[in-house]
Amino acid sequence: MRRVLMVSFQFPPMAGTSGVQRALRFAQQLPASGWTPSLLTAHPRVHAQTGTDLVEEIPEDLIVRRAFALDAARHLSIAGRYPGFLARPDRWHSWLLGAVPAGLKLIRETRPDAIWSTYPIPTAHLIGYWLSKLSGLPWVADFRDPMAHDGYPADPVLWRSFAAVERKVFARASRFTFTTPGAARLYAKRFPAAADRIRVIENGYSEDAFRQAERSVQIDNERSGAEARRTGPRLLLHSGVVYPDWRSPVRLFEALAAAKAAGRIDASRLRLRLRATAHDDFVRELALRLGVADLVELAPPVPYADALAEMLRADGLLLLQSNDCNDQIPAKAYEYLRARRPVLTLADPAGDTAQLMRRAGLPHNAALEDGPGVAAVLDRFLDDLFHDRAALPAPPAIAAASRESRTGELARVLDEACAPQMPTAEARP
CB crowding 82-113: b at 16 or more within 10 Å, else e: beeebbbbbbbbbbbebbbebbeebbeeeebb
Give the C-alpha distances (Å, rounded to integers) separating 307 from 45, 238, 240, 295, 311.
25, 10, 9, 20, 6
The pLDDT assigned to 134 comes to 98
The pLDDT assigned to 245 comes to 87
CB atoms within 10 A of CB 193: 13
Spatial contact of 170 and 191, defined as CB atoms under 8 Å apart: yes
Model pTM score: 0.88
What domains does the chain contain, in order, with CATH numbers? 2-204+402-418 (3.40.50.2000), 207-400 (3.40.50.2000)
Residue 87: strand, helix, or coil: helix
Give the span between the Cα atoms of 204 and 145, in whole angstroms: 14
| DSSP string computed for 157-170 | HHHHHHHHHHHHHH
Q: Is the dihedral of CA 333, 336, 338, 340 positive or negative?
A: negative
The pLDDT assigned to 227 comes to 53
Give the span between the Cα atoms of 313 and 360, in whole angstroms: 20
pLDDT in tens, the chain (429 residues): 999 999 999 999 998 888 899 999 999 999 999 999 999 999 999 999 999 989 999 999 999 999 999 999 899 888 788 888 888 999 999 999 999 999 999 999 999 999 999 999 999 999 999 999 999 999 999 999 999 988 889 899 999 999 999 999 999 999 999 999 999 999 999 999 999 999 999 999 999 999 999 999 999 888 876 554 467 899 999 999 999 988 999 999 999 999 999 999 999 999 999 999 999 999 999 999 999 999 999 999 999 999 999 999 999 999 999 999 999 999 999 999 999 999 999 999 999 999 999 999 999 999 999 999 999 999 999 999 999 999 999 999 999 999 999 999 999 999 999 997 655 444 444
The pLDDT assigned to 17 comes to 84
Give the span between the Cα atoms of 302 and 276, in whole angstroms: 8
The contacts of residue 283 (CB under 8 Å, 6+ apart) are 242, 249, 274, 277, 296, 298
Give CA angle at 239 (237, 241), nearest 5°. 130
The pLDDT assigned to 161 comes to 96
Task: Give start and end residues of each alpha helix (H) in 76-173.
Answer: 95-110, 122-135, 156-172
Give the closest residue to 422 by CA, choosing from 196, 147, 90, 111.
196
The gap from C-alpha 56 to its chain's centroid, in whole angstroms, comes to 20
- Please measure the distance between the N-terminal and C-terminal CA atoms of the chain and give it in whole angstroms: 36
The pLDDT assigned to 149 comes to 85
The pLDDT assigned to 82 comes to 83
The pLDDT assigned to 428 comes to 44
Give CA angle at 142 (135, 154), nearest 5°. 115
Q: Is the dihedral of CA 146, 393, 395, 225 positive or negative?
A: positive
CB atoms within 10 A of CB 148: 20
The contacts of residue 352 (CB under 8 Å, 6+ apart) are 180, 181, 182, 183, 326, 327, 328, 329
User: Residue 319, class by beta-carbon neighbours within 10 Å (0-12 exposed, 13-18 middle, 19+ buried)?
Assistant: buried
- The three state secondary structure string of 333-394 is HHHHHHHCCCEEEECCCCCHHHHHHHHCCCCCEECCCCHHHHHHHHHHHHHHHHCCCCCCCC
Beta strands in 54-123 (DSSP E): 63-67, 114-118
Give the closest residue to 356 by CA, choosing from 249, 203, 225, 236.
203
The pLDDT assigned to 421 comes to 65
Look up residue 287 and give its DSSP letter: H
The dihedrals phi and psi of 14, each to the nearest 5 degrees, come to -55, 140
